[in-house]
Structure 1
Amino acid sequence: MHLFVIFICSVIFGIETNNAATLKSSKNIDATAEYYKTLITGDTNKLSELNIFITNIPKGGDLHHHYSGSIYSETYLNWVAKNNYCVYREDNQTLKIQKYKIETRVSNLTDSAKALCITVGEIYLDNDFYRALLKRWSTIDYTNHYHEQLPPSKQFFDTFDYFGPISDSYYNEGLMLLKNTAISENVQYIETMLKSGPSISVTDELNVMLNSLNSKSNDSEIDIALTAYFNMVANDSNVNTIINNYVRMIGTSAAGINDDNFAIRFQSYVSRGNSPSQVFGSLFSAFSSAIRSDLIVGVNIVGPENGIVSMRDYTLHMKMFRFLKQRFPTVKLAMHAGELVLGLVPPEGLQFHIREAIEIAGASRIGHGIDIFYEHNAYELLEKMKQLNIVVEAVMSSNAFILGIENNAHPMLVYKAHGVPMVIATDDAGVSRSTLSNEYLIFSDRYRPSYLEIKALVYNSIHFAFLNESEKQKQLDKLNARFENFEAMIAKVASTLYDSSISSLSSTVEQAVSHMVIFFCLVCYLSN
């Protein structure tokens, strides 16, 4: 009987302890949700306090992330200085030079060109030129005062041409900077687009065959051409070497980045503005590399969708993806699709991009998805996205800048209403002068979702990551721990600011219950 009483008391005490821990965690969640609610409730929310809250909240992953567009211009200037490159201070058609462009072949310059190309040190001495350069290399100062300016979409995409010559010089250093920024704002995972799948050289005959294709070509013509190309490059030793070198470059770039606090993976990609032969060759390299490296977890297609070639060949590109997906079925696909608005292209150009990315190419994630309003049978498509768990990557800063889509005009509310899963991402934080924290802040301030809605979006960023199940579970376990710590911290903050007496009473009650259990067991023990 004596041992039995000890056993029963141990069980009771263990259950009580576990229940207390669970109860405390649940109370922390409730306290965090209530505190957050006070920050967004009312005619004017507490934006500054909300900013602190959002900065500290765990954010899981950033799934729509371009490496070169995520590095800030100031870093690129540091790299220009490190390489002793220069930047042109004015345009000159005779010399074929463009203001604000980087020159990497300084030793080959003529005296006339060299006189127009200034060092980073000289740039820092000329504040007006420095500020003007930042306006060309990013979106800084675009909307806060009047100045001569390009159309927003051109301003945004032109930035890549300015810093492009230096953007691939220090991949490992750049990734380490992005990692440190991510950790500082409680981001644990990034899927980035570092470099496109390498180009492949084939015979002129094959190039002509593929370049004769367009979106109106029938499936038989397309399959014949793509099969001929595929059969030629699939076992080509030179192509194999190019792809292996690309995979090795990715591994070298990621050296030392992955650890217990942070993980990075890569999407290979193609640029949609190139010729059909170039697109398919790069796409073959991208798919091939994805099955050779655990670091390369998916394939994407990038570039302005409203470009002449992009619009002309859109359906053809989707069929190229379908062709390669059939031959590389394990490769996951995310697609820039529907990054269009009324007026940017003719109305008929708004009606099929998202659908074809899903139904033809086989995408499981859609980047942007802005023109969903105009898609053929939009309600049916939304239901299909919901049923297939096709997630939309919402990137609010770039959507507002490039397309002028924000607030209630943004389709986030449509996707939410129809149960289509979403994640919040940055796109090109360096160009947009933003962070993932800022994207969540915009979302919270604009739409005032509940705390649990925000938390669900964060978890989506891991659930829909292109990680294998084992890696995904590890990230989810880490995210659980981060949220537990965050909610305990916020509960303490809320207690200090609003209801210390209630918190104290709750703590006293919990202690009393615990003491009663101990007293009961002691009495039982002594009576036996």
Structure 2
Amino acid sequence: MQNILSRSLLVALAVAAVPAAMAKEPATASRQAMEAATARHYATLIAGDEPKLAELTMFFTQMPKGGDLHHHYSGAIYVEQYLDFLDRQGLCVNKQSYRVETDKTVIASERAKPAKERNCLSSAEVYADDYTWRELVQRWSNKDFDNHGALQPPPDRLFFQTFGYFGPVSNANFKEGLQELKKRAIAENVSYIETMFKMSPFVSNPEFDARAWQLANDDAALDIELRRAMEGLERDTVFAKSIADFVAKIDEAAEGIDDERFTMRYQTYVLRLLNPSQVFSSMVAAFKSASGGGKVVGVNIVGQESTHVSMRDYTLHMKMFGFLKKVYPNVKVAMHAGELAMGEVPPEGLKFHIDQALSVARADRIGHGIDLAHEANAPGILRKMRAEDIPVEINLTSNSFISGIKGENHPVTLYRKYGVPYVISTDDAGVTRHTLSQEYVLFASRYKPDYLEMKKTSYNSIRYAFLPAAEKTRLTRQLDARFAAFETGVAALAKTAAARTRKR
């Protein structure tokens, strides 16, 4: 009797399961149909010699874009936001130099003068004087660079000089700045940002500087010197406190950012323009900060790569990274490497930067990588990145503006052709005044990938994030739901457009 009941129960369960299984099949088929309809609609937007840019802009503004993995906090804030910070900090802008005045005595003196005689202006006074506003925004960003006739510096100089103008206001108001970036990301359907937020603390040691330069080409001796320096830093209680304070400041700024719609994590970085002791101590602080399992998830290096110091010390920096990567093997490294174009440095300077970032520094992601075609080991770089699943972070707007690299001259054509994974990112959207959606528009209109490749690119920005597996799974499932809604909407829009076309 018991066996009969058991068999009956199994049959009942099997019968009950059939409708559920049948229900899943139409849902899957429906999702596939929506995806196919979206792909067909997208294909019409990129077809022909002149892609439909307005429609592509609408398409990618609505499309879920996963994350932005190459993102500088200070360069992402728009000038207008920095001017709001100006008043909050009680500072003013010198209307001759367009730099922020931080001397409280000078500020008090200026505010005591009649309005017409002031040389240092509040944000309201900047906006009220159109000439001053125009001049300021052209120095604090690249606005009007391509369509005005004034004398102007070379684009790379303008780009990197902007940070000196808004620097005094970018180093405060972090909570407000991060909230502004979150609001903008949600508005354009970006669910994750991994921002290069703050430079890790450092100390100076002239004796170490001299020895590091002397030992730069002796790997064994340099390794001993780096270990000695690291051990000295670890005994330094003041340095340890500076690291703890640094992490605490990031945690404080990050309060209230994460929610069910949006997640942000932080890279700390070192500045490659400093002396070796400053760079190495900053690296030690960065790796320690990122090893704690908190909101600091990776380490980077920043600063114009073509300057004298950057070029002179490049290999030394890579060896420092490689040394610390052995000490902290679980810390993720994203590396600005190969952000160079022909003519920016002598030809031999283009031959090794990406290669050393991968083979010496053991980078987990490559930022920019635009000198690829000139690298002596270009085929090996492509094989390594493909085989080891190391992505390149593509920043079309900044590559075009800073270095003049665009169109078929951009090595994304090579990375794609040889199967290297890539993500699309913004770099410094406040300086170059664009959005991640616009980067997708540029990519689609220039290189005409199919819809599935663009969709994969969005997922890549979660796949290659420096996040724990559980967080990636959560964000991927969230992205699945967002794409299902997006594709349903696009399919309906395309159907309506097709019906109107038939009526004509």
TM-score by length of 1: 0.89
Q: 1:88-167 alignment to 2 at 5 Å?
A: 88-90=94-96, 99-108=97-106, 115-167=118-170
User: 1:154-233 to 2 correspondence within 5 Å?
Assistant: 154-200=157-203, 205-210=207-212, 212-213=213-214, 215=216, 217-233=217-233
Cα gap change, 1:140 to 1:359, in 2 (>3 Å): same
Q: Does 1:60 align with 2:47?
A: no
Q: Give per-residue Cα distances to partners, 1:50-104, cap 9 Å, x unaligned.
A: 11111000000000000000000011011112222111122xxxxxxxx011011
Could you tell me which residue of structure 1 aligns to residue 4 of structure 2?
none
**Residues 1:8 and 1:314: Cα distance change in structure 2 (over 3 Å):** closer
> 2:37 is matched with which residue?
31
| Distance apart, 1:323 and its partner CA | 0.9
Aligned to 1:86: 92
Tell whether the 8 Å contact from 1:183 to 1:261 is kept in structure 2 after alignment.
yes
Distance 1:343 1:6, change over 3 A: same
1:326-373 deviation line (CA, Å, top 9, x unaligned):
111110100000000111100000000000000000001000000000
Please tell me the root mean square deviation across aligned C-alpha atoms, in Å: 2.2
Aligned position for 1:326 = 326
Q: Sort the Cα spacing of 1:442 and 1:328 in 2 relative to 1 into closer, same or farther, 3 A.
A: same
Q: Out of 442-451 and 230-239, give the one that drifted further.
A: 230-239
Q: Which deviates more, 333-342 or 74-83?
A: 74-83
Q: Distance in 2 between matches of 1:42 and 1:310?
A: 43
Identity of aligned residues (%): 46
CA distance in 2, matches of 1:461, 1:358: 20
Q: For 1:137-165, what per-residue CA distance to the aligned partner results, in whole angstroms no more than 9, with x for missing partners?
A: 00000011222010110000000000001
The 5-angstrom pairing of residues 111-510 of structure 1 reads: 115-200=118-203, 205-210=207-212, 212-213=213-214, 215=216, 217-498=217-498
Structure 2 unaligned regions, length at least 5 = 1-6
SS state at 1:393 partner: strand
Contact 2:202 2:278 survives alignment (8 Å) = yes
| Alpha-carbon distance between aligned partners in 2 of 1:100 and 1:195, rounded to the nearest angstrom | 24
Change beyond 3 A, Cα 1:223–1:31: same
In structure 2, the residue corresponding to 1:336 is in which secondary structure? strand
Verify the 8 A CA contact 1:335 1:366 in the aligned structure 2. Answer: yes
| Structure 1 residues 16 and 501, CA gap change in structure 2 (3 angstroms) | farther
Q: Secondary structure at the match of 2:24?
A: helix
Equivalent residues, number: 491
SS at match of 1:361: coil
Q: Is the 8 A contact 2:394 2:412 kept in 1?
A: yes
Query: 1:76: which partner in 2?
Result: 82
Moved more, 275-284 or 289-298: 289-298
Query: What secondary structure is seen at the aligned counterpart in 1 of 2:198?
Result: coil
Inter-CA distance 245–213: structure 2 relative to 1 (3 Å threshold): farther
CA distance in 1, matches of 2:198, 2:450: 37
Q: Given that residues 214 and 316 in structure 1 are in contact (C-alpha distance below 8 angstroms), is that contact kept between their aligned partners in structure 2?
A: no
Q: Aligned AA for 1:303? A: G
Distance 1:300 1:4, change over 3 A: closer
Per the alignment, residue 515 of structure 1 pairs with none
Residue 518 of structure 1 corresponds to which residue in structure 2? none
Distance in 2, matches of 1:50 and 1:133, equals: 32
SS in 1 for 2:371: helix
Q: CA deviation at 1:394?
A: 0.2
Distance 2:437 2:250 in 1: 27
CA distance in 2, matches of 1:49, 1:243: 48
For residues 354 and 14 of structure 2, the distance between their equivalents in structure 1, rounded to whole angstroms, comes to: 61
| Structure 1 segments unaligned to the other structure (5+ residues) | 91-98, 503-528
8 Å Cα contact 2:215/2:221 also seen in 1: no
Report the Cα offset of residue 207 of structure 1.
Answer: 4.9
Between the aligned partners of 2:138 and 2:404, the Cα distance in structure 1 is 18
Deviation (angstroms), 1:44: 2.6
Contact 1:62 1:190 (8 Å CA) reproduced: yes
The answer to whether the 8 Å contact 2:101/2:107 transfers is: no
Partner of 1:96: none
Letter of the aligned partner of 2:35 in structure 1? Answer: I
Q: State the alpha-carbon separation in 1 of the partners of residues 360 and 166 from structure 2.
A: 34
Q: Is the 8 A contact 1:213 1:276 kept in 2?
A: no
1-structure distance, mates of 2:403, 2:204: 36
Amino acid in structure 2 at the alignment position of 1:104? T
Q: Which region of structure 1 is more displaced relative to structure 2, 110-119 or 487-496?
A: 110-119
Structure 1 residue 48, shift from structure 2 partner: 1.2
Q: Secondary structure at the match of 2:301?
A: strand
